């Protein structure tokens, strides 16, 4: 099943790339394919995607997802920090974009815990994903196209 899932994700992303004028690098393509493997109601981490793609930089994964022209179909909102905090969304780490990411995840059934309050405003400070929502990607190791 894993190999079939990779083939479907690859075809999906390649069809999307064929229909836009924006340039998608080979690295971004691989990130988008890998991200497409994260099922609805689950999340993965920037670090786990990096490990799957043999990329030692979670930041590079984040930059590729920041420029994702296929969201939400390529579900970059399903990628969180290694500490299971929501991380970034569309290049932002707070405010309405993170609120939208949280809402999208909750609508998909991902449980979000709120940790602490901001000192000045009393607003929620951090949102974290429950560990039960994290999906491993190791089963796809070695299957992604180069």
Quote the CA–CA distance of 100 and 72 in Å, as a whole number: 12
Residue 115: CB atoms within 10 Å:
10
**Rounded to the nearest 10 degrees, what angle do helices 26-36 and 2-18 cross at?**
130
**Phi, psi (deg, nearest 5) at residue 142:** 80, 0
Active-site annotation holds for 55: no
* Sign of the alpha-carbon dihedral angle for 13, 17, 20, 26: positive
Catalytic residue among 34, 37, 65, 76: 76
Q: Where are the alpha helices (DSSP H) in the chain?
A: 2-18, 26-36, 46-52, 58-66, 96-107
Q: Which residues contact 6 (CB under 8 A, 6 or more apart)?
A: 33, 37, 140, 143, 144
- Point out the residues that are catalytic: 76
């Amino acid at each position: 099943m894993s190999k079939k899932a990779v083939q479907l994700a690859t075809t999906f992303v390649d069809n999307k790339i064929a229909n836009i004028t924006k340039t998608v690098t080979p690295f971004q393509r691989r990130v988008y394919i890998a991200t497409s493997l994260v099922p609805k109601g689950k999340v993965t981490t920037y670090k786990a995607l990096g490990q799957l793609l043999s990329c030692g930089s979670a930041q590079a994964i984040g930059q590729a997802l920041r420029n994702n022209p296929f969201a939400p179909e390529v579900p970059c909102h399903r990628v969180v920090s290694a500490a299971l905090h929501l991380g970034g969304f569309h290049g932002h780490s707070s405010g309405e974009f993170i609120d939208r990411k949280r809402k999208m995840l909750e609508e998909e059934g991902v449980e979000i815990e709120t940790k602490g309050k901001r000192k000045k405003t009393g607003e929620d400070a951090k949102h974290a994903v429950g560990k039960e929502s994290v999906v491993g990607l190791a089963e796809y190791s070695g299957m992604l196209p180069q």
